Amino acid sequence: MQLVFATNNLNKLKEVQSMLPQHIKLLSLKDIACDEDIPETQPTIEGNAIQKAEYLKNHYGYDCFADDTGLEVHALNGEPGVFSARYAGPQRNAEDNTKKLLTELKHKTNRNAQFKTVIALHLNGKLHTFTGICKGIITTQKHGDGGFGYDPVFKANGYDKTFAEISLEEKNKIGHRGKAVSKLVEFLKN
């Protein structure tokens, strides 16, 4: 069985492939000669994941799955959410985004936030979604140089280190994307 993962990130692809039974073979966007920007114009994380999976199915005909992730901050009414990648502008720069987030939260005492990943799977004509959430807080300054995006300012509940200070293995275990991927893998195994 072949399944397209709407990504060209080979690390992500390998990681999910390693969790799947051998008869499921994952293909990247490159593998199906898709080099266009897949539209992500929906107002929600769920909406974007579904839009990407449906676009791929409709334009390329493959069963597939797509993921979308955002950081939802309580004191900012859920922002940056679906705008996480371009919070500080279209340059999509993690440094600028993090700086803007810390500025917006400067005088806020409630630092609660969550990462949310939604995976939308198009399989045998049906759409399924899998959600992974990781709750935590936004720190007042950056700590650590691992990870990417908002990792240096996010501490998962129960941890005294940011996502930029823990190993990738640990992050995958407790993190939003890892949880959503586990749900997808369990579904595909059955």
Note whether 70 binds ligand IMP by CB under 6 A.
yes
Which residues 6+ apart lie within 8 Å of 96 measured at CB?
87, 88, 89
Residue 52 to residue 176: CA distance in whole angstroms? 19
Stretch that binds ligand IMP, among 14-22, 25-33, 102-110, 145-153 (CB under 6 A): 145-153
Residue 95 to residue 152: CA distance in whole angstroms? 10
Which residues 6+ apart lie within 8 Å of 129 measured at CB?
46, 49, 50, 118, 119, 120, 121
Query: In this complex, which beta carbon is closest to ligand IMP, that of residue 151 or of residue 165?
Result: 151
Note whether 162 binds ligand IMP by CB under 6 A.
no
Catalytic residue among 63, 68, 145, 160: 68
Q: Is the peptide bond before 21 cis (omega within 30 degrees of 0)?
A: no
Residues of span 163-182 touching ligand IMP by CB under 6 A: 163, 177
Note whether 47 binds ligand IMP by CB under 6 A.
no
31 is catalytic: no
End-to-end Cα distance, the chain:
14
The runs of H, that is alpha helices, within the chain are 10-19, 45-60, 94-104, 168-174, 176-189
Binding mask 76-105 for ligand IMP (x = CB under 6 A): --------xx--------x--x--------
Which residue among 13, 26, 64, 69 contacts ligand IMP (CB under 6 A)?
69
- Judged by the rule CB under 6 A, the positions of this chain that interact with ligand IMP are 68-71, 84-85, 94, 97, 115, 147-151, 163, 177
Which residues are annotated as catalytic? 68
